[in-house]
Structures are given as structure tokens and as C-alpha cells.
Chain A
Amino acid sequence: MIITGSLLIVCVMLLLGVSVYIAFGSVLMFIALVGDQSISGYLPTGSTGIRSLVLLAIPLFMIAGGIMEKGKIAAPLVSLAQMFIGHIKGGLSAAGVLACGVFGSISGSANATLTCIGGIMMPHLKKANYPKGQSAALIVAAAPLGLLIPPSASHILYGWVAQQHVLKCFLSTVIPAFILITLLILTNQFLLRKHHDIILSERPTPFMPTFVRQGRLAGPALMMPVIILGGIYGGIMTPTEAAGIAVVYAVPIAIYYYRGLTWKTMATTIQTSGVTIGVVMVMIFMVLIVSDNLIAQGAPALAKQMVYSVSENPIVILLMINVVMILIGMLMDDISGLLLATPILLPIAQSTGMDPIHFAAVIGVNLGMANITPPTAPLLYLGAQVCDVPVSRMLWPTLIFITFAWLPTLMLTTFIPELALFLPDLLLGD
């Protein structure tokens, strides 16, 4: 009764428009009213949960993302990508997708990726007569690459909740990310076939001097993933220390090299990031308490029982898990969704023989897709603001990108475990 009631309350509250953390708070209120657990355990559970060095990587990457966003670090990355493929039809939009991938590997955040790359790419795309709605939808669909290409905040959280190797979780979505990039570009090319009025940029001649100049400009930004990922995978730093180094590295290059920030605006940027961090951490605090209570009530066993009552076929079970995760992702943000879904769905996935690292990839792709799936698609609405295109014009192309790029990536990731496990096994062993 408590589990059903809790899920019902969360859904009703979220549909009503109550803040996500309040929706979880109302579940706690409900459990306190009908359950037999003491409310004195709420605060220790939540505060002990968020008192984690691993978790500290999330706010640090958010600060780093905020500094890069305001520090104009993304512009040279876009110019570099544009140099190579801007002269081909569809090349400019493909450059946007690639830039999302590169920037995602620096910031680890879909929001920061969308704001930076969308803001820079859209004026170029509009100028070159690319269809506005489709281009904005493409950037929106590519922004969650920030969640798939390491470092990723959601994987840090997953590794922490599921007690898995964070570095393996990071690597699990690299191949799916490349598949997604390819499918997004191909789908976009197909959609562009009837647009004959696109203005193509000329290939810079002579190419090499321009390349060297652009490369020098983009160099410090491109060094960032090298430092972060090299530090982590080289065993020099933990993900949290790497996140701290990312901030320490981003500050001087944003101020003195790219001149996008001053020391004064730096404080404001950190404050703005601090507010976003507060929003996320208070949600994590609440979801941890709710999740703990639901586990105590036997929610994982009940969910497993329900799933197995429908079918015992692993393929059907994995499809059902995906459907549930998509629904969760459509209702709440990726962090809350991950915290709630992992303890309940991971045992079910494992019962079908799925590796927890494989599940990290599935949940990563799933929640990335949920971020752009209507009706509650946070990135879609943010994209409309950033790209200055009405949501209605973006809706149809977004659905096409979901159907022909995201869904196939999700299915491939779910049913071909090697896509998720090959790199972790190769680089970090069993």
C-alpha cells in the first residue's frame, strides 16, 4: 500500500507542477502518516547520503561547466569543427553535433552543452539557410552527449548508488555515444535532402595555416578533456579531484586566454552554479530518503515480482525496464530518475543476467533520451530559448531524431552488451 501510494503521490504531484524535491517530500509525509517508521531517521539518512567525496564531483563539474559556458571556451571548438566539414551540405549541423560531443567531454553537463553550442551554432545555421526547427532540434538531440561522453555526472551518481567502478561506468557509454553521433548526423542528412537553398561555407585556403591558427586557439580548451580523462584513467586523480582540477584549469584560461570572464563575473558565475548545485543536491537529499524508505518497504522485490508476473523472457523484461525508465525520465530530471530507478530496477536487470556496468550504459542512454522526450523535456524547452525557435517548430524533428537516432542507440545498447562492456573490459579489465 505504501509503495503504490508513494508512486501515485509522486506522479500526481509532478503532474500538478510541484517542484520535484517537494514531490518526494510529500511521499515522506505520506510514509510518515501511514507507515511505522520514525521521521527522526530522515535527516540522518539524507545528510549521511550527500556527505560523500565521490558526490562532490557533481557540483565541481557543474562549476567547471558554468565557467566554460560563460568563459567563451566553446567558440573555438565550433570553429575548428566547422573548418573541416562546414563546406559540405549538412556539414555545419554535423559540426554542431561534434562540438556537442567535444564540449560534453569537457563539461559533463547537457544543459551547459546546449547553452554553449546552441548559442554559438544557431546564428551560423540560420545564416546558412538551414531549417531552423530542425537545426535547433538537432542541437537539442545532441546536447545529452554531455551525459554519455565521460566525465558524466549521472555516471558518478550511478557508480555511487550501485557501488560500481565509476571509471567503468564512464566508459560504458562511449561507444553508444559514437553510435548516437553517427545516427544523428545521418538522420539530419536525410532530412536535409529536400533543402536546396543551403549556403555552404568555403573550405579555407590555404588550409594548413588556418588549421594551425584555429588549432592554437582551441588548444587550451581541447587540453581540458586530456587533463581530466588522462588524470582519471592514468590513475593520477580521482574523478572528484579531476573535477577540482577542471575548475582550477578553467579559471585562468577563461579569464586570461579566452577573456570571457573577469574575476568579478567569476564570483557571479560560481554563485549561479551554486544555485543549480543547490537545486540538484536538495533533490538528491530527498530522493535518497525516499529511496531508502521504499527499499525498506520492499519496493525492489515488489517491482521484480510485478515484472516477472508479465513475462520471464529476458528480452521482454529488458524492454519493460526501458519503458519504465523512459516514463520516469519523462516525469523527472535525470538525477532524481537515476537515484530512484537504480536501486529498484538494477536487481531486476541483474536477474536477467545483465552486468551492472551494462545497466549503467542503458540507464545513461535512457535518461539522456528522456531529457528531450516530450511532454516534460527540459532540454527541449531550454533549446527553444537558446536557439530562439518555438517549441512547436522543434517538436516534429525532435521526434524524428528520437525515433531514428536515440531509440536505435538505446536498443543497440540494451541488446548488444559488448557495446557497453568492450571499452571498460579492454581498458580496466574484468
Chain B
Amino acid sequence: MSNSTDELPADVSDESGERLIRITDELPQFIGAPMNWMLFGMKAIVTISGFLMAFTFGAVVVIRYGFGGDLFAYEEWLLAISIVGFFAGAVLASERKLHINADILSIVISDPKLIWWRGFAVLVIELLVILFIVYACYISLLDDFSFPRLRATPVLRIPFVSWRIAIMIAFSFMAMFSAAYLYVHIRQGLGLPLKSDTPKGAAQ
């Protein structure tokens, strides 16, 4: 099982923090730039939600034993934020191609043509499945909104749809990255140059 980056330039930065070519850099500017802003947002969400998760639970213990109190209904907002954080992390994993896969065929196949077709099949399946999940989320949300009152958490009344919408958005972003990888894969298959192949791209 691996978290493979295959042949695509997906890393955000190397160990020294130097910026490397990213998948968004391979796309036309008008698509790549908004995706980069979105990635910035996802990174912020992941970092903030990670800090919040850890320090809230630390605070819960300190408040309980230090002050004999209780952090009121913290689980309601914390779980909502955590779910958003989880899926923001999943989007970043899609951008970096870090989702776990069983990489058995790559050991067996050595023919470059076959390797390309296998990669193509994998990317097409990934895109189709994620789009299907986005559709399933959409149908589910329509179902949620069809009720006169939205279901919500008992104390703070945070609507369930808030994180469900976030999940749908996250899957949509994941679909965008799958499509981006498919686009680059097809370009490679057709022998078209990538930005990372050009001297400017390589210099980055």
C-alpha cells in the first residue's frame, strides 16, 4: 500500500521549504489560480481545526480539574469544526496524491504504454466515483432542505447541514483535483509539454 505521487509533480514544497511545481501550476492560469487560493483556505482550516481540537480537549481537562467547571456544549461546535477540518485535509491529500492505494500492478507492469493506460483508467474511475459521491451528497442535501425545520444539535442549534454542505464542497474540490491530474496525464500521454518540463517551470 502506498501514498504514491506517481510521475506527477504534486509536491508543494521540499524539505527545505523551497517551492516545487504543483498540479495547479500545470493548469491554465484562470483555473489554477482560484484552486491555489482554495488550497490556501484548506491549509488554514486544517491548521486551525488541528490546534482547536487539541487545545479544547486540554482545556476541558484543565477546567474540570483546575476550576471544577465544564466547557459548555463544546462537543457540538468542536465536532462540526473537526469534520470540516478532516475533509479539508482530505482535499489537501487529493492535491498531493496522498490517498492510500494498493500499488500492486506498478510492481508487475513495466511496459510504459500499459502503465499509462492503467494510470488513465485509475484517474477516470476516481473522477467518476467522486462525481457520483458529490451527486449523492447533493440528493441528500435536497432531502434535508425538503423538511420545514432543519435538524440541528440540541444545545447550540448548529444545523446538521452545515458540515454536510462542507463535505459536499470538499468532495467537489477533490473531483477538481482528480480532473486536474487526468488533464495532466492525458497531456503526458499525447506527448504535449508540461510546465514543469519548460526551463521556467524547472527553475521554479
Residues of A near any B CB (own CB < 8 A)? 13-22, 25-26, 28-29, 32, 38-44, 46-47, 50-53, 56, 59-60, 63-64, 231, 236-237, 240-241, 243-245, 247-248, 251, 267, 270-271, 273-279, 281-283, 285, 331-333, 375-378, 381
Contacts and interface: CB of A to CB of B under 8 A. Distances in A.
B125 A244 contact: no
The 7 lowest CB-CB distance pairs between A and B, nearest first, are A244-B57, A278-B89, A274-B46, A248-B58, A247-B54, A278-B90, A43-B140
B93 A279 contact: yes
B56 to A, nearest CB: 7
B31 interface: no
B1 A267 contact: no
Interface of B: 1-3, 43, 46-47, 49-51, 53-58, 60-61, 65, 75, 78-79, 82-83, 85-93, 96, 98-107, 118, 121-122, 125-126, 128-130, 132-133, 135-137, 139-143, 160, 163-164, 167-168
A248 B132 CA distance: 40
18 contacts: A16-B118, A16-B121, A17-B106, A19-B99, A20-B99, A39-B136, A40-B136, A46-B167, A47-B167, A241-B61, A243-B57, A247-B55, A274-B89, A275-B93, A276-B98, A278-B86, A279-B93, A282-B93
A47 B164 contact: yes
A53 B143 CA distance: 26
Contacts of A277: 50, 85-86, 89
A281 B87 CA distance: 8
Nearest to B88: A278
A43 B100 contact: no
Given A25-B133, A40-B140, A56-B82, A274 B92 contact: yes
Interface centre among B79, B88, B101, B141 (most CB of A within 10 A): B101
Contact of A278 (B51, B91, B126, B143): B91
A278 B101 contact: no
Given A247-B54, A274-B85, A279 B100 contact: yes
A18 B141 CA distance: 27
A245 B89 contact: no
Contacts of B164: 43-44, 47
Contact of B102 (A20, A231, A273, A278): A20
Contact of A378 (B1, B46, B55, B92): B1
A190 B11 CA distance: 43
Contact of B136 (A32, A245, A267, A279): A32
A176 B185 CA distance: 47
A412 to B, nearest CB: 27
A40 B143 contact: yes
B78 to A, nearest CB: 8
Nearest to B49: A274
Nearest to B165: A43
B89 A20 contact: no
Given A17-B103, A271-B92, 17 more contacts: A15-B104, A16-B105, A16-B121, A19-B100, A19-B126, A22-B99, A22-B125, A53-B79, A59-B53, A244-B60, A248-B55, A271-B47, A274-B85, A274-B88, A275-B98, A277-B85, A333-B1
Contact of B50 (A14, A43, A273): A273
A282 B86 contact: yes
Contacts of A29: 128-129, 132
Interface residue SS majority, chain B: helix
Contact of A331 (B49, B75, B102, B142): B102
B54 A63 contact: yes
Interface centre among B51, B107, B163 (most CB of A within 10 A): B51
A423 B33 CA distance: 57
A223 to B, nearest CB: 16
A17 B89 contact: no
Contacts of A28: 132-133, 136
B193 to A, nearest CB: 26
B86 A14 contact: no
Contacts of A241: 57, 60-61
A358 to B, nearest CB: 27
A51 B79 contact: yes
Contacts of B137: 42-43
B133 A42 contact: yes
A21 B174 CA distance: 12
A281 B89 contact: yes
A157 to B, nearest CB: 14
Interface centre among B50, B75, B135, B141 (most CB of A within 10 A): B50
A20 B125 contact: no
B90 A282 contact: yes
Interface centre among A40, A248, A275, A378 (most CB of B within 10 A): A275
Contact of B100 (A20, A42, A51, A56): A20
A254 B74 CA distance: 27
A231 B140 CA distance: 41
A231 B65 CA distance: 12
Contacts of B106: 17
A270 B126 contact: no
A21 B94 CA distance: 11
B82 to A, nearest CB: 6
B130 A25 contact: yes
A270 B50 contact: yes
Contacts of B43: 271
